[in-house]
Amino acid sequence: MLLQKLTDGLLFIYFLFCSFLAPLLDAQIILPIEFFPKFLVDLHSRYAEEFNDCLISEKPHFFVGLFWVDILILWPICIANLYGILNKKSWVKQTCLIYGVSAATGMVAILSELIRSGREGSSKVVSIYAPFMVFAIISILNGLTTSSKSSSTVAGPAMGRKKRA
């Protein structure tokens, strides 16, 4: 019970962070720069320059595709997870599992590209992307655990037909 509350708290903070990160910074990968305030564009550019993030500066096709998935699928799931965790909804474990599997799949592609690229400074960029993989795994594990609420199953005849006397 305590571990579940701790996990929910960590995931809530993570999903809150991602709920702001996706539309403000991640969307700059796929949408025209004119849609964003100058200070956000400058922040994004400064990050790419300072950390030598070749994926953000070069925008390879797979990376752009992953960010379309991020904005169209994962961002709404983040918002749903925030609502679900806050209101203790029964479906939140399933949406955490969906989010975690999708995010981990994308992170494997991103991390393997960074690790195998052999570019200078890529280890620094890996250390920035790695926590997203950690939280994806936490989200998967959270989705795979059973709820502490006991579900009662009804034993008896199928609901389709009534017994005749």
pLDDT one-digit tens code per residue, 45-90: 999 999 999 999 999 999 999 999 999 999 999 999 999 999 999 9
Calpha distance 67→27 (Å, rounded): 7
For residue 158, CA distances in Å to 108, 154, 161, 162 come to 45, 10, 7, 8
pLDDT one-digit tens code per residue, 132-149: 999 999 999 999 998 655
User: Could you tell me if residue 51 is inside a domain?
Assistant: yes
pLDDT band at residue 158, thresholds of 50, 70 and 90? low
User: Could you tell me if residue 72 is inside a domain?
Assistant: yes
**What is the pLDDT at residue 146?**
81
User: Could you tell me if residue 17 is inside a domain?
Assistant: yes
Which SS3 state, helix, strand or coil, does residue 132 take?
Answer: helix
Q: What is the largest CA-CA distance in the chain?
A: 81
- Structural domain span for residue 116: 2-144
Q: What pTM was estimated for this model as a whole?
A: 0.84
Question: Helix 75-86 vs helix 92-117: angle between axes, to the nearest 10 degrees?
Answer: 140
- Whether residue 106 contacts residue 69, with contact meaning beta carbons closer than 8 Å, is answered with yes
**What is the pLDDT at residue 123?**
86
The total of structural domains in the chain comes to 1
